[in-house]
Amino acid sequence: MSKNLVIYFSHKGENYFGGALKQIEKGNTEVVAEQIANAVGADVFEVEAQKTYPNGYYTCCDEAKKELQQNARPELKKQIDSIEKYDNIFVGYPIWWGTLPMPLFAQLEKLDFAGKNVAPFCTHEGSGLGDSERDIKKLCAGATIQNGLAVRGSTVFSSQDKVAKWAKSALK
Ligand SMILES: Cc1cc2nc3c(=O)[nH]c(=O)nc-3n(C[C@H](O)[C@H](O)[C@H](O)COP(=O)(O)O)c2cc1C
């Protein structure tokens, strides 16, 4: 059984991609999550909110900003209750307003990270990891946190080698 887990949130729909707004079928973070799972062998869990975020980029930005300001914890469609059997947990997300999306806050807060090895990764359009590493440290209290990986969303399809190298180096 795999001792590695990838937990991620990703948003399909209209996104800012390579300088233009474009409809994407598969979220950028989802692409990186799959690259990690392929590189190290891992179970994969997608965090999904009960609500549907707006498809339009700007309306989604407005919604996400409201949630961040309210420190919201959106209801989740499904959740993982235990990470006891895993040693290495890769936590992935798009940067939303400088940090991770609130549904991921809601999921991570429910888990016990004591003694775990956590490797954060994000996709973004310029911010890099932003404040997310600081927030991950709080959300995954008791874990060893590896240096995070930031991949520009518009380059995910050519980032496979870099992602695989980082994922292997983040294992404990
Ligand atoms: C609501 C929202 C907020 C965003 N905020 C930021 C940001 O603060 N900094 C940044 O570099 N990119 C930001 N982006 C761009 C996304 O992080 C980027 O497009 C990412 O690759 C999307 O990943 P996904 O397809 O897995 O959801 C934002 C996108 C959305 C939809």
CB of 102 sitting under 6 A from ligand 1? no
CB atoms within 10 A of CB 12: 14
Instruction: State how beta strands 20-24 and 48-49 pair.
Output: unpaired
The C-alpha atoms of residue 148 and residue 14 are separated, in whole angstroms, by 26
Nearest CA to 28 out of 120, 94, 95, 105 is that of 94
Q: Which tokens sit at 58? A: 């700007």
User: Does residue 52 lie in a domain region?
Assistant: yes
CB of 125 sitting under 6 A from ligand 1? yes
pLDDT of residue 29: 97
Ligand 1 atom nearest 15 alpha carbon: 19
User: Does residue 112 lie in a domain region?
Assistant: yes
The C-alpha atoms of residue 57 and residue 172 are separated, in whole angstroms, by 37
User: Does residue 144 lie in a domain region?
Assistant: yes
Confidence at 18, pLDDT banded by 50, 70, 90? low
The C-alpha atoms of residue 108 and residue 100 are separated, in whole angstroms, by 11
Phi, then psi, of 152 in degrees rounded to 5: -65, 130
CB of 127 sitting under 6 A from ligand 1? yes
pLDDT of residue 24: 86
The C-alpha atoms of residue 121 and residue 102 are separated, in whole angstroms, by 16
**Count of structural domains within the chain:** 1
pLDDT of residue 110: 97
The domain that holds 17 is classified in CATH as 3.40.50.360
pLDDT of residue 152: 94
User: Does residue 172 lie in a domain region?
Assistant: no
User: Does residue 9 lie in a domain region?
Assistant: yes
pLDDT, tens digit (0-9, with 9 covering 90-100), for 72-104: 999 999 999 999 999 999 999 999 999 999 999
User: Does residue 101 lie in a domain region?
Assistant: yes
Ligand 1 atom nearest 9 alpha carbon: 26
The C-alpha atoms of residue 66 and residue 72 are separated, in whole angstroms, by 8
CB of 53 sitting under 6 A from ligand 1? no
User: Does residue 95 lie in a domain region?
Assistant: yes
pLDDT of residue 64: 97
Confidence at 2, pLDDT banded by 50, 70, 90? low
pLDDT, tens digit (0-9, with 9 covering 90-100), for 118-164: 999 999 999 999 999 999 999 999 999 999 999 999 899 999 999 99
pLDDT, tens digit (0-9, with 9 covering 90-100), for 21-76: 888 889 999 999 999 999 999 999 999 999 999 999 999 999 999 999 999 999 99
CA distances from 25 to 11, 15, 119, 121, 149 (A): 9, 10, 26, 20, 23
pLDDT of residue 1: 47
User: Does residue 31 lie in a domain region?
Assistant: yes
- The residue range of the domain holding 92 is 4-167
CB of 88 sitting under 6 A from ligand 1? no
The C-alpha atoms of residue 63 and residue 70 are separated, in whole angstroms, by 11
Instruction: Tell me if 67 sits within 8 A of 97, measured CB to CB.
Output: no
Residue 139 CA to ligand 1 centre (angstroms): 20
Residue 55 CA to ligand 1 centre (angstroms): 13
